[in-house]
C-alpha cells in the first residue's frame, strides 16, 4: 500500500516554526491541537519525532502527522 502524497505548502520565507506550520498546512486545527500533537510525540520532521513546537523548519523539510505529510516550499 502506498502512502498519500506529500502536500506542498508555499511559503514566502523560511524558516517557520513547527507549530505555525502545522496550522498552516492543515495538520492541526489550531495552536492548542498543534501543541498537543507535538507534546504527544505524534509529529515527525524528516522521519524523526520532533517534540519542540518552536523547531525551525526550512523549505523541503517533510512534516508528518500519522499518514498525512506536508512540506514548506518556496512560493
- Say if strands 7-11 and 68-74 run parallel, antiparallel, or are unpaired: parallel
Whether 23 is in a domain gets the answer yes
Q: What is the pLDDT of residues 34-51, one digit of tens each?
A: 999 999 999 999 999 999
Whether 1 is in a domain gets the answer no
What is the end-to-end Cα distance of the chain in Å, rounded? 31
49, three cell numbers? 519525532
To the question of pTM greater than 0.85 for the whole model, the response is: yes
More confident position, 3 or 72 = 72
State residue 8's pLDDT score.
96
Q: How far apart are CA 64 and CA 47, in angstroms?
A: 8
More confident position, 19 or 12 = 19
Q: What is the CATH number of the domain that holds 67?
A: 3.10.290.10
Q: What range does the domain containing 32 cover?
A: 7-74
Total number of domains in the chain = 1
Amino acid at each position: 500500500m502506498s502512502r498519500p502524497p506529500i502536500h506542498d505548502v508555499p511559503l514566502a520565507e523560511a524558516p517557520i516554526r513547527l507549530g505555525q506550520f502545522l496550522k498552516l498546512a492543515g495538520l492541526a486545527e489550531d495552536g492548542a491541537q498543534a501543541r498537543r500533537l507535538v507534546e504527544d510525540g505524534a509529529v515527525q520532521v524528516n522521519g524523526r519525532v520532533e517534540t519542540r513546537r518552536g523547531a525551525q523548519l526550512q523549505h523541503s523539510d517533510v512534516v508528518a502527522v500519522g499518514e498525512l505529510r506536508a512540506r514548506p516550499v518556496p512560493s
